[in-house]
Structure 1
Amino acid sequence: MATHPGWTQPATHADAATEPPIRLIHASPLPQPAAGPSDQDIAQRLSALMQQADRAATLHGAARSATESRSAAQAAWTLGLIHLHGAGVPQNRMQAQRWFMQAAAGGFPLAQAGLAWCAMDGCSGPPDLEAADAAIAALHPSAPARAAFLAWLVEGRRARNQPSQQLAPGRSPLLLAAAQGGEVHALNALGIDAALHGQDAVAEGYFRRAAPGSPAARANLERLTRRPSARDSTVSRPTSTSGEAHASADALYQKARALHRGIGRTPNYSEALRLYAKAASRGSVAAQRMLQLIYARPAPQGGVDILWMQQLAQVDPGVVPSSAIVPDGVQIWQREPTPLYDLLPTFWQQLVGEVSRGG
């Protein structure tokens, strides 16, 4: 991983996890007013942004003031966010990247965040993690917390692409640096990790810090308050063993499944829970889904329902959709559609996924 100057290495968090290899269910857009904006209003706002973004290109020399240049670059940045998320327009990531490039050329600092995301996500071609590193380094002086979060995403993708060079378990200094800087996506990620480990009080703290700027964190906080705390579980969790220090996520998951099902031994639910949590923290999607299923149907007195655990022993979360067996009303932990979603103006957030409401 490229090292970016200026970052400090905070104390590590035993339960911090690397980015899961798939995106979890996206957060719903902000609540739309009863009488939402009309198609004409949307079109007028888009037209105004485009005129503003193009104005600097039509002026030359002294006629182009610094204020006009900044205004044009910011408009280009907003148009990039709009097209990236499909907010009132068809989603077009290639067009989004072009707007981000124009904003960066105009000197808008946050445009580097857009270029970093497009580079790692492949807006106009295969992902380019080296290009993402360069954009992150350019972003760091103006937005160190967001740069740290984006660097953490790149770190996780590199680890998945090179299984033999997995990240040290439980060590995410970039994620922690981003969270310490108040970056809402980092706070939400740490909240999800804590929730997967049954550390509800820790998760609640992270979700509450992120909630003002994150619809996903608000939804996660609401869900968290509706489920019993894992500390009330009737299943105890033994401590970790040193032999698991470098085990892969899949190996931990398979060991958890064997203990859960009682393959070749008596089922050990407490040990299975611990290993599911460890596998989830290292990126196992199947382990994440199994934990979500386990905690979706608590015992009447609170905590883990042993009968429900027995039923789940025969379920393969990698094949059976969660919606087929999760009780009604239960949601999966949410993340934002992109790590730039919170920068999309509120007016446009309410239009994500809406292209035309007229026909």
Structure 2
Amino acid sequence: MSAVMPLSSEQGRQTPLALVWQAWRSTQPRELMVWLLIGLLYGAVDLGAIYEVWHRPEALLAMARQLLLPVLAALLLALCWLPADRSDPEHPHRAWRLAFATLVGAALSVLLVRVVIEWLQWPNAMDLMYLAKGKPPMPIWHWSSMLGDLLGISLSAGLAVAVHEMNLRLRRSEAAVQRSLQTQSVLTRKAMAARLATMQAQIDPQFLFDTLVGIEQDYQHGKVAAAPRLEQLIRHLRVALPRLRDMGSTLEAEAELLDSYLAVRLGEAAPRLQRDWPAELGGLPLPPMVLLPLLQRALQLCDDELPACGLQAELAARGWRISLNLGRPGLCGDAAEMATLQQRLQALTGQGTALRCESGDHETSFILDLQP
């Protein structure tokens, strides 16, 4: 029924009258309708008494008074309730503010109703019953009548305010739960990314060990290829090691990593990585170590025999599309491995990332769709 205004530093320096005026200006049509409905329902409770005096000419005036005055009282209650409702929802004394505003509104309503009655001179059903019995009507300002009206209005308005406040707190609790779930999701994603970063530091240690052993043996046998192989390994490590620390990379940097890995793993038989993308996509942001696992598993499936390798990037309908094209068919592997890679990519880039593998007659393509 309400929209609590967030308190800014400027609002904290405003005068109380300015805050009250701001609360009144924030009134929503739905709130006015609710308070009007409360007033009508309160007035309709005693409409049955009008039936007993319906034969009298003043009955219509009595019915109008029975419906009009509670509506006026409800509007005055709304004016008192709005500043308390728009106050800080987390304030420790919010409940007392609402109770005080309701009590003040009820007291002012009792006074306003009597002022209007004196001005209109409309009777109520009880006055007509007294007149039918030859008794004078009860005085408007009689203390017992005023106390009864005060209790009745306070209880009715207090119940309405309490129900609204409970509903408001329930919605705030649900919103807090949703924020907690979102925060938990972000933290889970960061934790998974941290675990994946730890896994990145353990990428293919056997490959590095075997390469070092092979280089050592080449030096022992005096092979000419020993020095180039060592240079290729050093180049690969210089390219790969920063990826183990960084949480972000680029398309150009990942292509350099693939090229250096091919040179170390396949040696002289390594194909040159063919790059195909517009110049503006060279700096396209990518998570580190995303493309290398695809190449590693493909080389395992083809026994390190790869005649061609290409990397292509282009703009797609809702982001970018990167294709790793390998010159051998049937390198997609099983579905479980692809699902694992898909989960890893989504943990690093979000749910909008999609990975699929297509195998043709002459090549295998890993297609990665990224959203900004």
Q: Report TM bin, short chain.
A: under 0.3
Q: Which protein has the larger Cα radius of gyration, Structure 1 or Structure 2? A: 2
TM-score by length of 2: 0.21
Report 1 or 2 for greater relative contact order, CA contacts < 8 Å, sequence distance ≥ 6.
1
